[in-house]
């Protein structure tokens, strides 16, 4: 392992050891509290432009494998871990994390106090940082960071979204034939607008009996509306994705056209935020976001508690109650986690019901969507 130097925009300067890719990268540092699933987290497109600090101290011990990829590559800038384990042991493992990060161009940082970093982010909020295996001078790193664009100034959707439409056939655990045949026989087809969709979301949509077509974020609402009216599709799903939703001005215009129709719509994470913005209720940035697999969420009326996985820095405002019913709330900070829009077949959640955090989960939401698809 060679040395790596880290500089945070609050002036913190640290030295650590590196694994994975080498070079210099700039991004926003956040922390994730999940105890397992580091490969799914690293390959989640919603982390584009970010450094992920893992609060779980032991990372790398179960290796990596092709089935646990949430996208075709890893879009995050880097990962920070307390202890990296090159030796791995798991019956599903196909390789080590070090080689994986090198393959996907992601910096790995270890032998660093992740507890200190987590408390720093918690107290001061998510912030921009630079990490380099090439530059050791503090002032040079500070200057380079100051000259770099901030994460909210970059549209990462262009990077993570598919360029061509395609049909997704896998169900949960890659049971392709059984799940897809069930979906085709159901005669219910949905279009997924890809802002950075996770593969497990697509798997769960298929598993719930829906035929799934994925289209780029550059979609045109008129085309989808025409297909709905022609009964070619019966619903639309707006996916998760990275970055500040308020920068997606063109996408907002297209979503506004969709919500003024009778098309059933379901959305997760960024899609949830886009629906709020399209309805005239702009999102706001949380101090350090919600990133982890252990967040309790409850229905305000029934108070049934679900354990959810989360990955977001932005949230819908309380003013959304003017046009929507709140279906889920975060029990950690009281923020809105799910809404159903009044007089419309449109609903959305902020958390990730596909992520299987256990023990009481939210996968039923996919079945609820399947029921209202035409």
- At residue 198's C-alpha, the angle toward residues 193 and 199, to 5°, is 100
Has 269 been annotated as catalytic?
yes
Alpha-carbon 323 to chain mean position: 26
Peptide bond into 220 cis (omega under 30): no
Joined tokens for residue 323: 């046009």
The single residue listed with the structure tokens 């990596």 is 64
How far apart are alpha carbons 26 and 42 in whole angstroms?
16
The single residue listed with the structure tokens 């590559």 is 73
Neighbours of 347 (CB within 10 A): 22
Residue of 76, 168, 254, 269 marked active site: 269
Yes or no: say if 270 and 195 are a contact pair by the CB < 8 Å rule. yes
Joined tokens for residue 80: 């920070």
Helix (H) or strand (E) holding 213: strand 211-215
Give bridge partners of residue 324 from the DSSP assignment: 341
Yes or no: say if 352 and 310 are a contact pair by the CB < 8 Å rule. yes
Helix (H) or strand (E) holding 228: helix 221-229
221-229 helix and 249-259 helix, angle to the nearest 10 degrees = 20
Q: Give phi and psi for 196, each to the nearest 5.
A: 135, 45
Has 76 been annotated as catalytic?
no
Residue of 254, 306, 337, 354 marked active site: 354
The single residue listed with the structure tokens 């987290």 is 41
Has 352 been annotated as catalytic?
yes
Catalytic residues: 269, 352, 354
């Amino acid at each position: 392992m060679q040395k790596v130097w880290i500089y945070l925009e609050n002036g913190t300067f640290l030295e650590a050891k590196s694994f994975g890719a080498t070079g210099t990268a700039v991004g926003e540092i956040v922390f994730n509290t999940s105890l397992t699933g580091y490969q799914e987290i690293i390959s989640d497109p919603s982390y584009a432009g970010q450094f992920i600090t893992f609060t779980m101290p032991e990372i790398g011990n179960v290796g990596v494998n092709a089935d646990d990829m949430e996208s075709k590559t890893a879009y995050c800038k880097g990962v920070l871990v307390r202890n990296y384990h090159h030796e791995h042991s798991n019956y599903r493992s196909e390789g080590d994390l070090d080689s994986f990060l090198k393959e996907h161009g992601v910096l790995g940082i270890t032998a660093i106090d992740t507890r200190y970093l987590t408390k720093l982010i918690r107290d001061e909020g998510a912030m921009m940082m630079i990490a380099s295996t090439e530059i050791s001078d503090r002032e040079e790193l500070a200057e380079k960071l100051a000259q770099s664009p901030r994460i909210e100034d970059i549209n990462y959707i262009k990077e993570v979204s598919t360029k061509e439409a395609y049909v997704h056939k896998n169900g949960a655990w890659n049971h392709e034939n059984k799940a897809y045949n069930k979906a085709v026989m159901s005669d219910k087809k949905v279009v997924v607008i890809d802002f950075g969709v996770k593969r497990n979301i697509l798997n769960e949509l298929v598993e719930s009996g829906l035929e799934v077509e994925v289209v780029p974020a550059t979609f045109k609402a008129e085309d989808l509306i025409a297909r709905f009216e022609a009964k070619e599709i019966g619903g639309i799903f707006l996916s998760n994705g990275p970055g500040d939703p308020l920068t997606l001005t063109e996408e907002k215009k297209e979503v506004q056209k969709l919500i003024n129709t009778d098309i059933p719509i379901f959305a997760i994470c960024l899609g949830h935020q886009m629906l709020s913005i399209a309805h005239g209720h702009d999102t706001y940035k949380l101090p350090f976001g919600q990133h982890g697999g252990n967040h309790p969420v409850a229905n305000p009326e029934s108070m049934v508690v679900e354990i959810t996985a989360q990955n977001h820095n932005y949230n819908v405002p309380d003013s959304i109650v003017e046009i929507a019913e709140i279906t889920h709330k975060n029990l950690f900070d009281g923020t809105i986690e799910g809404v159903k829009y009044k007089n419309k077949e449109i609903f959305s959640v902020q958390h990730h019901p596909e992520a299987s955090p256990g023990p009481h989960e939210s996968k039923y939401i996919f079945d609820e969507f399947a029921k209202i698809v035409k």
